[in-house]
Structure 1
Amino acid sequence: MARMHTRRRGSSDSDKPVADDPPEWSDVDADAVENRVVELAEQGHSPSEIGLKLRDEGVQGTPVPNVQLATDKKVTEILDEHDAASGLPEDFRNLLERAVRLREHMTTNPNDAQNKRALQNTEAKVRRLADYYRGDELDADFEYTYEHAEELL
Structure 2
Amino acid sequence: MARMHTRRRGSSGSDRPVADEPPEWSDVDADEIEARVVELAEQGHDPSVIGLTLRDEGVKGVPVPNVKLATGKKVTEILEENDAKPEIPEDLYKLMERAVRLRNHADENGQDYQNKRALQNTESKIRRLVNYYRGDELDEEFKYTYDAAVKLLE
Normalising to structure 1: TM-score of the pair? 0.97
1:139 is the counterpart of 2:127: no
Q: After the TM superposition, which residues 74-153 of structure 1 pair with which residues of structure 2 at under 5 Å, given as runs?
A: 74-153=74-153
% identity of equivalent residues: 73
Number of aligned positions between the proteins: 153
Partner of 2:47: 47
Counterpart code for 1:75 = V
- State the Cα deviation string for residues 101-141 of structure 1 (Å, max 9, x = none): 10011111111000100000000000000000011111111
Partners in 2 of 1:123 and 1:43 — Cα distance?
Answer: 29
Unaligned runs of at least 5 residues, structure 2: none
Structure 1 letter corresponding to 2:33: V
1:34 matched to which residue of 2? 34
Bigger shift: residues 76-85 or 11-20 = 11-20
TM-score for both structures, normalised by structure 2: 0.97
Coordinate RMSD, CA, aligned: 0.8
2:59 is the counterpart of 1:59: yes
How many Å apart are 1:14 and its aligned residue?
A: 3.2
Runs of 4+ in 1 over 4 A off after TM superposition: none
Report the Cα distance in structure 1 between the residues aligned to 2:9 and 2:21, rounded to whole angstroms: 35
Paired amino acid for 1:83: D
Structure 1 position 95, deviation (Å)? 0.6
Which range moves more in the overlay, 100-109 or 5-14?
A: 5-14
